[in-house]
Structure 1
Amino acid sequence: MGQNADMPHASDTRQSIIDAVLRIIGQDGVAAVTNRRIAKEAGVSLGSVTYHFATQHELLRESLLYFVAEETRHFSALAGACTDERFDIGQAAETVARVAGGNAFDSRHIAPFELYVQAGRDERLRAAATECFAAYDLLATRILNQLGVPDPERLAGVAVALVFGQQLRRLATGAPAEELVDTLLILTRCAAPRIP
C-alpha cells in the first residue's frame, strides 16, 4: 500500500518540528520547548513529536545540528566569496553587515544565543556548537586575510567573539547594526594599518 501523495513525508514532519523548536527557542527560550507547544507550532500531532524525537535532549541536539548545518553552509559560502583579489574594506563592511543580520533582531537571530547557552550547560551539544564556530572562524580568517591583516588565523577567534558580543549588545540594548560594522572596521584598521 503506497503513501498518499497528500500526506507529509516523515522527513517533512521532522523538519517542521525542528523549525518549530527553533522558533519557540527564539521567542521564549529553551524552557518553553514542550511537546505540546512544538506540536501546535509545527501543525503536527503530539504523537508525531514523540515519534520523531524520543527526548528533549534529542530535540535540542537535532535543532542545533540543523542550525549549525545551515550556518556552516551560509558562512562557508560567504567565505568563498572573500577570495576575490579586489576584495576591499567596503566589501568587508558589506559582508559584516550581512553577518550582523540587518537592523532588527527577530526570533531567528535570538535562537542561536539560546542554543549556545544550552550547549554550555550540556556538553553533549558542544561538538555541534564547535562546528558552527569553526565556520565563523573560517569566514573571519578569509576576510582578515583578504584585507592584509597579519596572522589572520590567530585573530579570527577574537573577531568572531567581537561580533557575538556586539550582537548580544544589540539584542539587549537595541543598538544599531552600524555599531558592529564600525567596531570591526576599527579593529581591522588597528591590525592592518595600511587599510585606508
Structure 2
Amino acid sequence: MANPSQTKERIVAATLRIIGEDGVAAVTNRRVAQEAEVSLGSITYHFATQNDLLRESLHAFVVQETRRFTDLAQLHCTGPTTPQEAAALVGQVAADTAFDSEHIAPFELYIQAGRDPQLRAAAAECFAAYDQLAASILGALGVPDPERMAGPVVALVIGLQLRRLATGAATDELVDALLLLTGTHS
C-alpha cells in the first residue's frame, strides 16, 4: 500500500500527463484516479478543489525542473563560463528535453493561469523560481544586473521552447537568441 506522499505524487504525475495529452479541460477526478491508479476518494482527500490540484501540479513540475537546472548549472558552471558555453548548455538541455505530455503540461497551465486568477499565484511562483535560477547563472557569467536580465531571459527561453514545440524547430534559434541577448552573438 502506497503512503500518502507517494499517492499524492502519483496523482500529480497523472494530472500532468493528462494535461499534456488532452489539456486542462480533460482533468477530472475520475480520470486522474484512473490514470494514477488510486481510489477516487484519494483525489479529494489530497486536493480539496480542482484548482488545488492544478496549482500543486504546476508547482511540482517547476520544483523538479528547477532542481534539474540547478544541478546542471552547478555541474557545468564550476569556474569561469563564457556566454557561448552557457548558451550551448541551455541549447543542449532544450534539445534533451522531450516534449512528452509532462513537459507540455506547464504551457497549458500557464495559459490556464491567464484565465483563472486562482492559478496566477502558482504561475508567478514558478516564474520567480525560473528567474532566480537565471539570475544566478547570469551572475556567474558576469552579466551586469543579472536580476533585471533574468525575466527577459526566462521569457525568451520559454517563448522559444513554445515555438519549438509548435513548429518542431531545432534548438539553434534558442542558442543564437541567448547569445544575441548577452551581446556575444558572432
Q: TM-score, normalised by structure 2?
A: 0.86
Where 2:119 maps in the other structure, the secondary structure is: helix
Any gaps of 5 or more consecutive residues in structure 1? Answer: 1-6
Instruction: Quote the Cα distance in structure 1 between the aligned partners of 2:148 and 2:158.
Output: 17
Tell me what 1:4 maps to.
none
Quote the RMSD (CA, aligned, Å). 2.3
Q: TM-score, normalised by structure 1?
A: 0.82
Tell me what 1:52 maps to.
46
Tell me what 1:169 maps to.
163
Q: Which amino acid aligns with 1:33?
A: V
| Residue 132 (structure 2) pairs with residue 147 (structure 1) | no
| Residue 125 (structure 2) pairs with residue 138 (structure 1) | no
Instruction: Quote the Cα distance in structure 2 between the aligned partners of 1:10 and 1:99.
Output: 33
Tell me what 1:14 maps to.
8
| Residue 35 (structure 2) pairs with residue 37 (structure 1) | no
Instruction: Return closer, same or farther for 1:147/1:30 CA change in 2, 3 Å cut-off.
Output: same
Identity in percent? 64
| Residue 117 (structure 2) pairs with residue 123 (structure 1) | yes
Q: Alpha-carbon deviations, 1:87-129, whole Å to 9, x = none? A: 2234302431254252642212211111111222222222222
Query: Which of 170, 185, 192 pairs up with 2:179?
Result: 185
CA contact (8 A) 1:120 1:126 kept: yes
CA contact (8 A) 1:17 1:49 kept: yes
Aligned ranges 1:75-94 → 2 under 5 Å: 75-81=69-75, 84-94=78-88
Instruction: Quote the Cα distance in structure 2 between the aligned partners of 1:37 and 1:142.
Output: 40
| Residue 67 (structure 2) pairs with residue 73 (structure 1) | yes
Tell me what 1:3 maps to.
none
The 10-residue stretch of structure 1 (84-93 or 73-82) with the greater mean CA deviation from structure 2: 73-82
CA contact (8 A) 2:66 2:133 kept: no
Shift of 1:34: 1.0
Shift of 1:23: 0.6
Where 2:81 maps in the other structure, the secondary structure is: coil
| Residue 164 (structure 2) pairs with residue 156 (structure 1) | no
CA contact (8 A) 1:82 1:146 kept: no
Instruction: Quote the Cα distance in structure 1 between the aligned partners of 2:142 and 2:178.
Output: 15
**Length, aligned pairs only:** 186
